[in-house]
């Protein structure tokens, strides 16, 4: 007997939704039945694309009896409120990263879903990507010995893409630590065993016109003896896609001759109002729709250079597989090209709801990732190592 498709409602039709839209539309186990967004043009486009109900308020979407689960893709500071609304109406929830802006909010979200006896999945972070999941499987096979060290770095133009003012304000969840470290920490925790013991970090905020963290470097130690170094820069100079065969973060081919595009576009903008308007052109309903967000013929998603050092080999996840550097030979464990990029996050959600299969990226997992991010900021601010206490293996 076929498993019925999961009837999903979307809270927030912004950039996060736009990135997952092709996957949501193509996944055979998902049916989009509703959405909530304050923008009429976004609601109108959703009705046209999916023939589904739309609401101006998230509360009304959560009250829709036809909706089984809510994809919470609203601004970071609203995640707790909207997950609690979903729980109050008996809905499962998939909440975008970063999970929330405080440990208190993370715990409240976990508690609300637990009381409702519903599943909470935190994503989509890049730790859902097939190359990282395959690397974890290879580690678990015990064919390469114990993990000892992880190196992770990513250099992008993140800080110079069009931003709303709150995205440049750390107190409102802006900057690279909340939006980008949540990816990198999730990957490193997945590969290192999950249980981080301590964090020592520094951050960089070097452009007064973009007054938030644009870079960080951190040393993580794990309870199992693994240690990891993570570096990220969003200052739009070196691009680490060069180290991944010019395959972009979303698996798309990159043109190295487009160097400097982000900064050049931003230089033409006069003030935050124009920048916000430019950002809005990249959102659903403002010229973007299902029609111009089709699935690309691409490689797997990735998040820069990752190297896992084990006793028997170094393992390097790549957009097309996992490169193995063993004692006397090197070889590529290839992965087939994705038919539906990013489908893993929806597979995990469906597996939990339809088959009662515990997900990796639970609320507890998401809270542990956010604890590392908060510790990164605290360590950089006060110049000391931070010991963690809310970790999840």
Separation of alpha carbons 107 and 364, rounded Å: 8
216: number of Cβ within 10 Å? 26
pTM above 0.85, yes or no: yes
Euclidean distance between the first and the last CA atom of the chain, given in angstroms as a whole number: 35
Separation of alpha carbons 270 and 252, rounded Å: 30
- Sign of CA pseudo-dihedral 127, 94, 361, 29: negative
Q: How far is CA 139 from the centre of its chain?
A: 23
382 φ, ψ (degrees, to nearest 5): -110, -5
- Element spanning 365, H or E: helix 363-382
pLDDT at 246: 96
Separation of alpha carbons 177 and 39, rounded Å: 28
SS3 readout for 267-329: HCCCHHHHHHHHHHCCCECCCECHHHCCCCCCCCCCCCEEEEEECCEEEEEECCEEEEEECCC
pLDDT tens-digit profile, the chain (393 residues):
678 999 999 999 998 899 899 999 999 999 999 999 999 999 999 999 999 999 999 999 999 999 999 999 999 999 999 999 999 999 999 999 999 999 999 999 999 999 999 999 998 899 999 999 999 999 999 999 999 999 999 999 999 999 989 999 999 999 999 999 999 999 999 999 999 999 999 999 999 999 999 999 999 999 999 999 999 999 999 999 999 999 999 999 999 999 999 999 999 988 889 998 888 887 899 878 998 887 766 899 999 999 999 999 999 999 999 999 999 999 999 999 999 989 999 999 999 999 999 999 999 999 999 999 999 999 999 999 999 999 988
What CATH superfamily is the domain 6-126+340-362? NAD(P)-binding Rossmann-like Domain (3.40.50.720)
- CATH architecture entry for 128-336+373-387: 2-Layer Sandwich (3.30)
Where are the chain's structural domains? 6-126+340-362, 128-336+373-387
Q: Tokens 């693994």 — which residue?
A: 226
Instruction: Report residue 369 as tokens.
Output: 């990732």
Q: Which of 16, 22, 155 is nearest to 94 (CA)?
A: 16
Residue 251 Rama label (left phi>0; alpha psi -120 to 50; beta) = left
């Amino acid at each position: 007997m076929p498993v019925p498709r999961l009837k999903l409602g979307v809270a927030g039709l912004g950039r996060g939704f736009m990135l997952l839209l092709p996957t949501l539309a193509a996944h055979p186990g998902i049916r989009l039945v509703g959405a909530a967004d304050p923008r009429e043009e976004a609601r109108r486009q959703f009705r046209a694309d999916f023939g589904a109900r739309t609401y101006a308020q998230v509360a009304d979407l959560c009250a829709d009896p036809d909706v089984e689960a809510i994809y919470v893709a609203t601004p970071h500071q609203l995640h707790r409120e909207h997950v609690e609304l979903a729980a109050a109406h008996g809905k499962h929830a998939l909440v975008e990263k970063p999970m929330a802006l405080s440990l208190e909010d993370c715990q409240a979200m976990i508690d609300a879903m637990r009381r409702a006896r519903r599943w909470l999945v935190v994503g989509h972070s890049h730790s859902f990507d097939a190359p990282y999941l395959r690397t974890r499987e290879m580690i678990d096979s015990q064919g390469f010995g114990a993990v000892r060290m992880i190196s992770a770095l990513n250099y992008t133009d993140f800080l110079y893409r069009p931003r709303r003012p709150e995205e440049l304000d750390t107190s409102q969840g802006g900057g690279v630590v909340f939006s980008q470290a949540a990816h990198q920490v999730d990957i490193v925790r997945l590969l290192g065993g999950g249980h981080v013991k301590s964090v020592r970090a520094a951050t960089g905020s070097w452009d007064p016109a973009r007054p938030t963290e644009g870079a960080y470097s951190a040393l993580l130690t794990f309870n199992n003896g693994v240690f990891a170094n993570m570096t990220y820069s969003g200052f739009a100079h070196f691009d680490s896609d060069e180290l991944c065969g010019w395959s972009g973060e979303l698996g798309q081919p990159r043109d190295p001759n487009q160097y400097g595009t982000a900064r050049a576009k931003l230089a033409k903008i006069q003030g935050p109002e124009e920048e916000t308007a430019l950002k809005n052109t990249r959102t659903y309903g403002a010229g973007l729709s299902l029609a111009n967000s089709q699935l690309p013929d691409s490689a797997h998603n990735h998040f820069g250079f990752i190297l896992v050092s084990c006793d028997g080999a170094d393992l390097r996840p790549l957009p097309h597989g996992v490169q193995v550097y063993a004692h006397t030979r090197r070889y590529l464990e290839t992965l087939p090209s994705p038919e539906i990029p990013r489908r893993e996050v929806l597979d995990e959600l469906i597996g939990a709801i339809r088959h009662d299969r515990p997900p990796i990226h639970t609320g507890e997992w998401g809270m542990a990732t956010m604890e590392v991010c908060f510790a990164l900021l605290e360590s950089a601010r006060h110049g000391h190592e931070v010991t963690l206490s809310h970790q999840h293996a």
